[in-house]
Structure 1
């Protein structure tokens, strides 16, 4: 990372948009259990590959049933996919807060009206695809993380958090967003954990 890419922590808290999308993906991976102490450049490489993978996935409508709930703020969730039965839970209170944050921060050009909901659904649709389809193995191959090599044979390993990065990149691409939903997720996390906030 060069000095020009670095931002002061106080500036990031005030303006999370000062951090680029790949750096938010690196931070997501770094905060994921099993990545403690991993080389930051390796995390950046995985973040880029997962982002590229997600942005290249062909758009496919979700077939999961959608259930709206209103307890996302206390759970710190915007949406969640569960596989049995295939369901996307959308947390309307968190969606409302996300829309308020977009307006308050002047990010409407990046996240047009209705796009937060659309991005949440698209994001969870990728989790369904990665859970049920061949894309899970394809993502492993794209990440190029080898956990075992026997002669010319190798076993590709799972990279915890990479599916999240890919799902955010897919949502950004298919919804035509100006920035990754990772930025909005970071802003939501900061808003929900700020001292004095009542949940």
Structure 2
């Protein structure tokens, strides 16, 4: 697992975004250069939200069961807006950061704070149609063009990358949360084999 995580740490953060998009239905056959452009644009868009966002704190529900689904947190809008924090996955993530010597990238307590910031970004995008439209425009993917009129298309997975960019910028992380997610997936696979 350490070898796998060291290999992951050698990759640039944009590559994790490309992988996320490539694994999303509708993107399987797309050009990796296009996916990289979208991943970079979405991440930068999310990072740029840090100065705009001042949200009231949502109701937070702590629970276990995140490891099986590889979830740190999840925003739910119904029946009432809330953020579910998966304490088992957060604890495993903190242990993994210590084990791998990644505290310079992910300071103590940063995982919980980044998970909350990530879900804040989802709330922003969920509640603000103009913001969702701005993300689509930034990506530059066209759904329909009639003469000089253009309708920007939705890019599946872009909101997730924007949320990761927002969390990394808002919490001052040294690396993308996607690196930690990939390392957690490796750790969970290793634990399942034992």
Measured against the shorter chain, the TM-score band is over 0.9
Q: State the 1:15 CA deviation.
A: 2.7
1:32 paired residue number: 24
1:82 paired residue number: 76
How many angstroms apart in 2 are the aligned matches of 1:37 and 1:195? Answer: 32
1:54 paired residue number: 46
How many angstroms apart in 2 are the aligned matches of 1:107 and 1:194? Answer: 19
TM-score by length of 1: 0.90
Over residues 167-197 of structure 1, what are the superposed CA-to-partner deviations in whole Å (9 max), with x where a residue is unaligned?
0011000101100101001101111123744
- The answer to whether the Cα contact below 8 Å between 2:24 and 2:156 also exists between their aligned partners in 1 is yes
- The answer to whether the Cα contact below 8 Å between 1:62 and 1:125 also exists between their aligned partners in 2 is no
TM-score by length of 2: 0.92
How many angstroms apart in 1 are the aligned matches of 2:61 and 2:192? Answer: 31
For residue 72 of structure 1, the aligned residue among 66, 82, 92 is: 66
Unaligned runs of 5+ in 1: 1-9
How many angstroms apart in 1 are the aligned matches of 2:4 and 2:184? Answer: 13
CA RMSD in angstroms comes to 1.6
Q: State the 1:35 CA deviation.
A: 0.4
Change (3 A) 1:13 1:110: closer
Task: Spell out the pairing of 1:71-110 with structure 2 (5 A cutoff).
Answer: 71-84=65-78, 85-110=80-105
SS for the counterpart of 2:24 is: coil
Q: State the 1:54 CA deviation.
A: 0.6
Change (3 A) 1:127 1:55: same
SS for the counterpart of 1:108 is: coil
Over residues 134-178 of structure 1, what are the superposed CA-to-partner deviations in whole Å (9 max), with x where a residue is unaligned?
211110111110011001001100001111111001100010110
Change (3 A) 1:117 1:184: same
Unaligned runs of 5+ in 2: none
1:19 paired residue number: 11
2:112 paired residue number: 117
How many angstroms apart in 2 are the aligned matches of 1:101 and 1:155? Answer: 44
How many angstroms apart in 1 are the aligned matches of 2:3 and 2:148? Answer: 48
Higher fraction of helix: 2
SS for the counterpart of 2:156 is: coil
